[in-house]
Amino acid sequence: MGEGQLREKLQHIIDARKLQHVVRLVGHRVDVPRLLSASDIFVLPSLFEGLPFAMLEAMAMGKPIIASAVEGIKDILEHNRTGLLVPPGDSTQLNTAVVKLQSDKALAQRLGEAARREFEACYVQDVMVSRMMHLYERLLGCSA
């Protein structure tokens, strides 16, 4: 997000590599849909995740996603179907995946559309509530 202890160090790296035109540390934002709509690719290079809400937002908007293959992410994203998964901490493979989606617009579009369909099928509120109710009913031995 561009906040926290490493902000100064990250800004120094961005400045030293003259990446200000492509990398911005924007900090906490409330206009995520507007920012996502301006992006071509969503990248989540996490080392660990729970339920990655930012990724779900990108899926809802049909953005092609590249993310680390860690618990939480790989439970939601399927490699080469709804996004691209890379080993956590592997900047070389992360870079390769970004270049791949930048150069293969058809693949990026296919992955983004599949991610949006997956979001709509599994992660919209009504679907999640219904699935949770069915799970509770099953666990409690009830029938609806």
- What pLDDT, in 10s, does the model give residues 13-47? 999 999 999 888 888 888 888 989 999 999 999 99
- Asked if 54 and 34 count as a contact pair (C-beta separation under 8 A), the reply is no
Asked if 60 and 95 sit in the same domain, the reply is yes
Spatial contact of 127 and 121, defined as CB atoms under 8 Å apart = yes
User: 112 and 49 share a domain?
Assistant: yes
Q: Tokens 């930048």 label which residue? A: 102
Residue 16 domain boundaries: 1-29
Q: What is the pLDDT of residue 141?
A: 85
DSSP code for 79: B
pLDDT tens-digit map of 108-141: 999 999 999 999 998 888 877 888 888 888 888 8
pTM of the model: 0.77
Residue bearing tokens 């509120």 = 125
Asked if residue 56 and residue 87 are part of one domain, the reply reads yes
Q: What is the mean pLDDT of residues 84-111?
A: 97
Residue (of 107, 71, 111) closest to 88 by Cα position:
71
- 64 within 8 A of 101, measured Cβ to Cβ: yes
pLDDT bracket for residue 143 (50, 70, 90): low
Q: Is the pLDDT of residue 102 over 70?
A: yes
**Number of domains the chain is built from:** 2
CATH classification of the domain holding 135? 3.40.50.2000
> Who has greater pLDDT, 24 or 95?
95
Same domain, yes or no, for 36 and 82? yes
**CB distance 63 to 41 below 8 Å:** yes
Instruction: Tell whether the model's pLDDT for residue 1 goes beyond 70.
Output: no
The fraction of the chain above a pLDDT of 90, given in percent, is: 62
